[in-house]
Amino acid sequence: MHSQPGSLTPVERGNGDMQEFFRSVNDRIGLLQRSWPVDYRDVMCECRDLTCSTMLRVTPFEYGNIASVPRLFFVCPGHEQPTHERVVVGTGRYLVVAAQASAPAAAPAPAEAPALAEAA
């Protein structure tokens, strides 16, 4: 159906690319919300489930810190997939998972995850 290699959508490539697709959607939502004075913003769960439409509440600070690190994604508790990622941060509102690279040691350790609380 596609004439050019590499022109497949994230859905056609497989659910590993869905995390990056959801991140790009969340980034675009953030651009729209940037001028709104909000304490929390809603973001899409960035899990690997192609049918997931769950929304999460994160602070702009939390989103900025996690989104700035490649391979870290926000997911709902219970949406993590231990065979493909590992949990590096957990809160009552969301989990942050590290998508595994080709070598498991490449995923950031919990101590290396960005701070999620603003400095007082």
Domain assignment present for 74: yes
For 44, the domain range is 12-112
What is the structure's pLDDT at 100?
84
Query: Average pLDDT of 52-58?
Result: 93
pLDDT at 33: 64
Q: What percent of the chain has pLDDT over 70?
A: 65
Give the least confident one: 45-49, 82-86, 115-119. Answer: 115-119
Residues 6-32, mean pLDDT to the nearest whole number: 65
Residue 82 forms part of a structural domain: yes
Query: Which pLDDT does position 117 carry in this prediction?
Result: 56
Angstrom distance (rounded) from CA 80 to CA 49: 10
| Partner residues linked to 44 by β-bridges | 55
Task: Look at residue 119 and tell me if it is in a domain.
Answer: no
Residue 1 falls inside a structural domain: no
The residues that bridge with 17 in the sheet, in sequence order, are none
Q: What pLDDT score does 120 carry?
A: 43
User: Cα–Cα distance between 19 and 44 in angstroms, integer?
Assistant: 10
Q: Where are the beta strands (DSSP E) in the chain?
A: 41-44, 55-58, 72-75, 85-90, 95-99
Closest alpha carbon to 106 in 88, 79, 81, 80: 88
Does residue 24 belong to any structural domain of this protein? yes
Instruction: State if pTM tops 0.75.
Output: no
Instruction: State mean pLDDT over 109-116.
Output: 55
Tally of domains in the chain: 1
Q: Is residue 7 part of a domain?
A: no
In a domain? residue 105: yes
In a domain, 104, yes or no: yes
